[in-house]
């Protein structure tokens, strides 16, 4: 019969938790933690255990990347290859050293184009409910010399999916002006649970009035 070396540990955060050896049969060693929260709530302690990297929302410190190849059109159809078309971003893929994968908007030339892409993404089990997080879209604004934009915006939406039905958009400020760099959207986490499926939608709108090409390219999408 194994001999237990029982230790009690107090403290509300992860830094004060310790595992202690237990001698088992055949010389095996296991580890156990006995927890008695003091000076802090049980919720605080459980969140510390859920988020091993110590982030407030439970996501990894470096964030979570959403592969661009999982995006589809607004009706679920596959995105066109290469340039965008018919209201959908196109997928550009170059497999080589230094190659890239991008979502390419349609070219606007004395016209307005609007392109959409949607990805289904499952939240990590480590996510901590009620904490907001950020949806990031790294973009490039392609602008030919002399191009004049009357509109250049990127809208984002995050819809939690429950029982196959999409709930309300969790981004309050959902539209940003496109400029080369990172566009960030704050997502409310109060109605999102660990492991829940999210529908993430990005819509780019570019209007050009001077007869020169303009378009938007999405280089990466992530949650932080």
The predicted structure's pLDDT at residue 53: 53
* Average pLDDT of span 45-74: 77
Among 27, 43, 200, 24, smallest CA distance to 5 is for 24
Return the percentage of the chain with pLDDT > 90, whole number.
Answer: 70
* Average pLDDT of span 33-46: 47
Among 80, 177, 193, 176, smallest CA distance to 131 is for 193
The predicted structure's pLDDT at residue 130: 75
Buried b (16+ CB within 10 A) or exposed e, 86-117: eebbbbbeeeeeeeeebbbbbbbbeeebbbbb
In order of start, what are the domains of the chain with their CATH numbers? 9-50 (no CATH), 64-223 (2.60.120)
* Average pLDDT of span 37-60: 57
* Average pLDDT of span 75-87: 96
CA atoms lying within 13 Å on the CB side of residue 137: 33
Q: What is the pTM of this model?
A: 0.77
Summarised one tens digit per residue, pLDDT across range 152-188 is 999 999 999 999 999 999 999 999 999 999 999 999 9
CA 60 and chain centroid, separation: 11
pLDDT range class, residue 194, cuts 50, 70, 90: very high
Summarised one tens digit per residue, pLDDT across range 124-145 is 999 998 789 999 999 999 999 9
The Cβ of residue 138 has, within 10 Å, a number of other Cβ atoms equal to: 16
């Amino acid at each position: 019969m194994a001999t237990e070396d029982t230790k009690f540990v107090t403290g509300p955060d992860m830094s004060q938790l310790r595992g202690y050896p237990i001698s088992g049969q055949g010389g095996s060693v296991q580890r156990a933690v006995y927890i008695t929260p003091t000076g802090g709530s049980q919720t605080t302690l459980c969140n510390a255990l859920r988020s091993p990297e110590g982030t407030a929302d439970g996501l990894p410190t470096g964030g979570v990347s959403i592969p661009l190849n999982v995006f589809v059109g607004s009706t679920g159809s596959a995105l066109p290859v290469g340039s965008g078309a018919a209201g959908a971003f196109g997928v550009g893929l170059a497999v080589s050293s230094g190659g890239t994968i991008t979502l390419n908007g349609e070219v606007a030339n004395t016209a307005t184009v609007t392109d959409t892409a949607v990805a289904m993404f499952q939240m990590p089990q480590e996510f901590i409910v009620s904490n907001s997080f950020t949806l990031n879209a790294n973009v490039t604004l392609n602008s030919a010399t002399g191009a004049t934009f009357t509109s250049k915006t990127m809208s984002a939406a995050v819809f939690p999916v429950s029982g196959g039905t999409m709930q309300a958009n969790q981004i309050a400020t959902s539209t940003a002006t496109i400029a080369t760099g990172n566009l960030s959207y704050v997502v409310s986490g109060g109605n999102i649970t660990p492991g829940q499926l999210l529908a993430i939608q990005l819509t780019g709108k570019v209007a050009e009035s001077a007869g020169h090409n303009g378009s938007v390219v999405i280089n990466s999408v992530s949650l932080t």
